[in-house]
Structure 1
C-alpha cells in the first residue's frame, strides 16, 4: 500500500491548501509540524515538506533540483468532474497545460501545474 507521496514545497501551507480547496481533501492536523503538512486523499495521503526537510533527511545536495520530477494523478468520478475540477484548479492559481481530452488509453484527463509548478493530472477512466 502506498501510504504517502511527499512533495517538497516552498510554502507547505499554501500548497496543501491549494489541494484541499480544489479536491476537498482534509488536513491531518495531528501530524502537522513547522516543516510538514499532511492531507488525506482517500486511499493514500500527500505530505508537504518544507525545504528544511532536505537537511533533516540528509538530502541537502538535492535541494536545488529543476524540472518536473513527479506527476500526481487524481482520479474523479466523471467527465463532468474532470471539467469542473480543472476549472476550479485554474481559478485557484493552477496553470492549464493541456485542456481535458480523451487519451489513446481511453481516459478523459487534463494536465496542469499547481501554484509551485508541480505537474498533476485530473483523470476519469472511461
Structure 2
C-alpha cells in the first residue's frame, strides 16, 4: 500500500507562503530539507512543502497555464469553532474568503479560502462520524 509523504504547493514567494501556513496551523519546519527552492513542514501523517517556481524546470514539469484550480488542499480540524477561528485568522494574514463556513450535504463543516498567492484550500471539520 502506498502512503502519502508530501503535498507540495508551488509559490512565487516560498518564504511568505510557508510562513502563512505554518503560522495559521502551527506546523513545524523540517529544517533538514530546507533549500533555496524548498521549505517543508510536518503536517500530520504527511508533510506540506512549498516549492519555488524554478522547481518546475528541476522536476522537468511544465508550468501550468490558464485559469482554474490545479489542486485543492484540505486541512481537517477538531471542531466547527476551530474552522471559524482559523477562517478569521487566515483572513487577517492575507487569505481571501471564497465561501463562508457551511455544512455540506454529507455532514462536514467547512470553508473555502485562497491563500495569499491565490491557491484554494479548505478548512474542514469532518464531524463526529469521521
Q: TM-score, normalised by structure 1?
A: 0.95
SS in 1 for 2:100: strand
Q: Paired residue for 1:75?
A: 76
Q: Paired residue for 2:29?
A: 27
List structure 1 runs of 4+ shifted beyond 4 angstroms. none
Q: Paired residue for 2:17?
A: 15
* Mapping of residues 1-126 of structure 1, within 5 Å: 1-59=3-61, 62-66=62-66, 67-126=68-127
Once the two structures are TM-superposed, the CA of residue 48 in structure 1 deviates from its matched residue by: 0.8
Where structure 2 has 5 or more consecutive residues not aligned to the other structure, the ranges are none
Q: Distance in 2 between matches of 1:122 and 1:45?
A: 17
Where structure 1 has 5 or more consecutive residues not aligned to the other structure, the ranges are none
Q: Distance in 2 between matches of 1:47 and 1:33?
A: 11
Once the two structures are TM-superposed, the CA of residue 65 in structure 1 deviates from its matched residue by: 2.4
Once the two structures are TM-superposed, the CA of residue 25 in structure 1 deviates from its matched residue by: 0.6
SS in 1 for 2:78: coil
Q: TM-score, normalised by structure 2?
A: 0.92
Structural RMSD (CA): 0.9
